[in-house]
Amino acid sequence: MKKDKPSATAEANAAFRAAELLRPKNEQVCEDRFAKRFIGLRFGIIARSRLLTSIALWYAERIIPGAANSVVARTRYIDDYLKQCIDGGIEQLVILGAGYDSRAYRFDELKPKVRVFEVDHPNTQRAKIQKVKKIFGSLPSHVTYVGLDLDRRKLGEGLLESGYDKTKKTLFIWEGVTVYLIPEAVDETLAFVAGNSGKGSCIIFDYAFQSAFDAATENGDAKKWREAYERRGEPPKFALKEDGVEEFLSKRGFYQVESVSMESLKKAYFKGPNAKRKVTNLGGVVHATVARKE
Ligand SMILES: C[S@@+](CC[C@H](N)C(=O)[O-])C[C@H]1O[C@@H](n2cnc3c(N)ncnc32)[C@H](O)[C@@H]1O
């Protein structure tokens, strides 16, 4: 992230979700009705016009082929998992590296019974809070904002100080973030989740494949992906081996690990008129439940 600036990728993701709503209803992979309210003037002007959006998406496609489609696919997958978890009785939702995630405002079922903690780098969170106030007139009472640089401070310090209850059944959503963190920060966060959450708590996050990092993998898309991240001042730092996700998480206190690749999300969501839309097959999404020793 560039010094003193909100995350540019957080805004780009919201712009991709906003662009999705300009497609015909039967082609929309995710439905984030607030995304366009969170984006700044530049993306906002583009998102008002189908033509400008098509040009912007064509350009984005040249920078990282399939990036926009991958973002909307993972948002949809995580939305579906959140719905299941709400039905399963979660009491808290922690959104790590929330950016312009609008789930706290979109999922009305959360408001009466689930406290939401949005954790983010203070630079991005300041910008988000201003937007939330502008959109809704005030900050919603069921959301707690926790400004925290996870490379410098532990998740636990910030969350526990903010009223997080470690005895409650909690879902942690970590979308579009792990790739930007140093491996120690990923470990710290997983250790906090595994050791400080109520029975049945779970986590869902996306991750990059180690092969996309590997200099030997001179796959053109992976190269473009790495270069684009570096240009934006948010270089990729963390990845997992495609076949090592379950072992990685079970060593860190999780079970019921279910991992899907972007390519399988493409098969699930990009059918019929969407069949030609490409995703970046450079990562996956995984969810897992906290294993209890007792
Ligand atoms: C690509 S954005 C993802 C935003 C949102 N979750 C989404 O999917 O649209 C990455 C997010 O990680 C946050 N982030 C990056 N480095 C961080 C750090 N060291 N500590 C806390 N948050 C960080 C950024 O502020 C940003 O909101």
Using one digit for the tens of pLDDT, what is the confidence trace for 230-256? 777 777 889 999 999 999 999 999 999
Of 188, 179, 187, the residue nearest 158 (C-alpha): 188
Computed over every residue of the chain, the mean pLDDT equals 89
The rounded percent of the chain whose pLDDT value lies above 70 is: 95
Mutate which of 121, 153, 285 for ligand 1? The one with the most ligand atoms within 8 Å of its CB, which is 121
**Structure confidence at residue 220 (pLDDT):** 72
Q: Are 78 and 285 in contact (CB under 8 A)?
A: yes
Query: What's the whole-number mean pLDDT along residues 126-145?
Result: 96
Q: Whose CA is nearest to atom 10 of ligand 1?
A: 177
Q: Which residue has the higher pLDDT, 221 or 75?
A: 75
CATH code for 8-290? 3.40.50.150
Give the separation between CA 271 and CA 276, rounded to whole angstroms: 8
Model pTM? 0.93
**Structure confidence at residue 2 (pLDDT):** 59
Is the predicted pLDDT of residue 217 greater than 90, yes or no? no
User: Structural domain boundaries of the chain?
Assistant: 8-290
Reported as a single tens digit per residue, the pLDDT across 168-200 is 999 999 999 999 888 998 999 999 999 999 999
Q: Whose CA is nearest to atom 23 of ligand 1?
A: 121
Give the separation between CA 73 and CA 264, rounded to whole angstroms: 10
Query: What's the whole-number mean pLDDT along residues 23-30?
Result: 93
**Structure confidence at residue 204 (pLDDT):** 98
Quote the ligand 1 centre to 218 CA distance (angstroms). Answer: 27
Quote the ligand 1 centre to 268 CA distance (angstroms). Answer: 26
Reported as a single tens digit per residue, the pLDDT across 28-44 is 999 999 999 998 767 76
Query: What's the whole-number mean pLDDT along residues 117-143?
Result: 96
Neighbours of 239 (CB within 10 A): 19
Of 249, 242, 259, 247, the residue nearest 291 (C-alpha): 249
